[in-house]
Structure 1
Amino acid sequence: MEFPKILLDKISYNLRQRNESISIAESVTSGFLQLAFSQMPNAESFYKGGITAYTLEEKVRHLNLDYDEAKAVNCVSRHISEVMAQNVALLFDTEWSIATTGYATPVEESNNEIFAYYCIAYRGKIIRSDRIELHPMTKALDAQKYFMEYILGCLRCEVKRHLEYITI
């Protein structure tokens, strides 16, 4: 799989310049973000790790989701992604975190739609949280790759924006 090298290099550079770390909680992207981070230069100096949790039980156990809330939405909502992002940062003790949840294939629970919720958190605060929608004919692998690249682009913007804010 090809990764957007320039994007990965910029994220790596900025996190290392800041001496800050990141962790990831994934569901719909199924490890794609973690794989991308492992390809970044000097990843071991800022990428502490991540978790891919697909089932309700594992998300509750490892990411401290509220069982009733998660069950009511099949673990897929903006708020669920936000809780996942905040809790993975606590789990790995990182300044930055990313979380994803959603559907890479059209199923009854998604109203036959393909979409993902993602969240980027910084120092325990949600700084970006949104929904990405794709055409229902998108192949699952293409959807996961698109979600990964889109979220990495958003992270790049947020890391750069917060870097400028800190240095001014």
Structure 2
Amino acid sequence: MELQKSLLQNIGQCLASAGETVAVAESVTAGFLQFSFSQIDDSSNIFKGGLTVYDKTQKEKVMKLGQDRITGEELVSGEIAEEMALKISEIFDTDWGIGITGYSQPSEFSDFKTFAYFSFAYKGEIILTKILELHPRTEAVNAQLYYTEFLLGCLKCELNKIALQTHVG
């Protein structure tokens, strides 16, 4: 799977024309979202940065996620993705924050399933949280690429909704 350059450029144009910025907090995609945003023309005008927080300790220390939300082995949930989206937007002072956490391959912690939760924060509010489930035999790198591209497609849809509301309102 290869990232669609046109999708990235379209996202970049939407953000630039709205004068908005984005930051990313990712776990399961291991930096691939940050890489993807860096591929947008003039990315430094819209992409302010991101963090890859792969384990519980870093999610607690770096992202300052509440310890009551990360108990035992529970590192993956819609709530965690939402908190990541809100925190990264706050850390980088951006309009948009994206959080994603999940599993790129089956494990005992995922009940031997492959899935990820992702969330978008816009101007301090959660506007979308979804789970994406893949076949458990999906290769890890393909899962990471698929999560990234699916998330970017959803981001484009949300950008279109906001733009439409702005023009209608």
CA shift digits 1:16-38 (9 cap, x unpaired):
00010000000001111101000
Q: Cα RMSD (Å) of the superposition?
A: 1.1
| 1:18 to 2:50 alignment | no
Q: Which runs of 5+ in 2 are unaligned?
A: none
CA–CA separation in structure 2 for the residues paired with 1:47 and 1:141: 24
Equivalence map 1:88-167=2 (5 Å): 88-167=88-167
List structure 1 runs of 4+ shifted beyond 2 angstroms.
Answer: 71-74
- Check conservation: 1:25, 1:53, Cα contact below 8 A: yes
Q: Does 1:49 align with 2:49?
A: yes
Counterpart of 2:6 in structure 1 is: 6
Q: Distance in 1 between matches of 2:163 and 2:73?
A: 35
- 1:39 aligns with 39
Fraction of identical pairs, as percent: 41
What one-letter code is carried by the residue in structure 2 that aligns with 1:148?
A: T
TM-score, with length taken from structure 2 = 0.96
User: Residue by residue, what CA displacement relative to the aligned partner does 1:31-53 show, whole Å, maximum 9, x if unpaired?
Assistant: 11101000001100010000000
Mapping 1:67-78, distance limit 5 Å: 67-72=67-72, 74-78=74-78
Counterpart for residue 62 of structure 1: 62
The question of whether the paired residues in 2 share the 8 Å contact of 1:56 and 1:71 is answered with no
Cα offset for 1:62? Answer: 1.4
> Alpha-carbon deviation of 1:73?
5.0
The structure richer in helix per residue is 1
Take 2:156 and 2:81, find their aligned partners in 1: how far apart are those partners? Answer: 19
TM-score (normalised: structure 1): 0.97
What is the one-letter code of the residue matched to 1:94? T
- Report the residue type matching 2:130 in the other structure: D
Q: Give the drift of 1:69.
A: 2.0
**Separation in 1 of the partners of 2:61 and 2:151?**
25
Alpha-carbon distance in structure 1 between the residues aligned to 2:42 and 2:9: 10
Q: Structure 1 stretch 158-167 or stretch 15-24: which is displaced more? A: 158-167
Deviation at 1:75? 1.3
CA–CA separation in structure 1 for the residues paired with 2:73 and 2:108: 13
8 A Cα contact 1:22 1:47, kept in partner: yes
Q: 2:82: which partner in 1?
A: 82
